[in-house]
Amino acid sequence: MQIWVDADACPTTIKQILFRAAARTGASLTLVANQPLRVPRSPNIQAIQVASGFDVADNEIVRRVAKGDLVITSDIPLAAEVIDKGAQAVSPRGEVFSPDDIAARHTMRDFMDTMRTSGIHSGGPSALGERERQAFANALDRWLAKAVL
């Protein structure tokens, strides 16, 4: 099983949690981004740089993800696609996306996007705090405990 990271917008603190978990467990970890990434030297950690462009990294993750893999992303459409392929998706805030709620989350995302484009600014998400980092670490640990590495 593999962990994939939508790395362009993934916070550094979350990447550090992932690097430590991969070192501790031997889990395969791949970060995908359209910019160069620095990752620790490890046989089970790699970075893939894709071309610049809208959803290029997302499309690469969807192309490579397999049933049972884990994808770290806050991108709702990407989460929906990987769930459709039988993978699990978790946000850097520790939110586990599920087949039961992904459609509602996608609808809300589209609604908020419509509001922003019509001039109503709702502000972005709050800064990533200790509670969110802990929620992420807990979600990752739960997946690792179930994964056959």
How many residues in the chain?
149
> Any idea what DSSP says for residue 100?
T
CA distances for 51 relative to 58, 59, 60, 79, angstroms: 11, 11, 10, 21
Residue 101 pLDDT? 81
- Please say if the pLDDT value at position 79 is more than 60: yes
Give the gyration radius of the chain's Cα atoms.
Answer: 15
pLDDT digits (tens, 9 = 90+) for 81-136: 999 999 999 999 999 998 778 665 666 655 556 666 777 766 656 678 999 999 99
Domains contained in the chain, CATH given = 2-146 (3.40.50)
- Phi then psi for residue 82, to 5 deg, are -75, -30
Select from 90, 55, 44 the least CA-distant residue to 31: 44
Q: Contact at 8 Å (CB) between 89 and 97? A: yes
Mean pLDDT, residues 52-78 taken together? 95
The span from the CA of 104 to the CA of 54, in Å, is 23
Mean pLDDT of the chain: 89
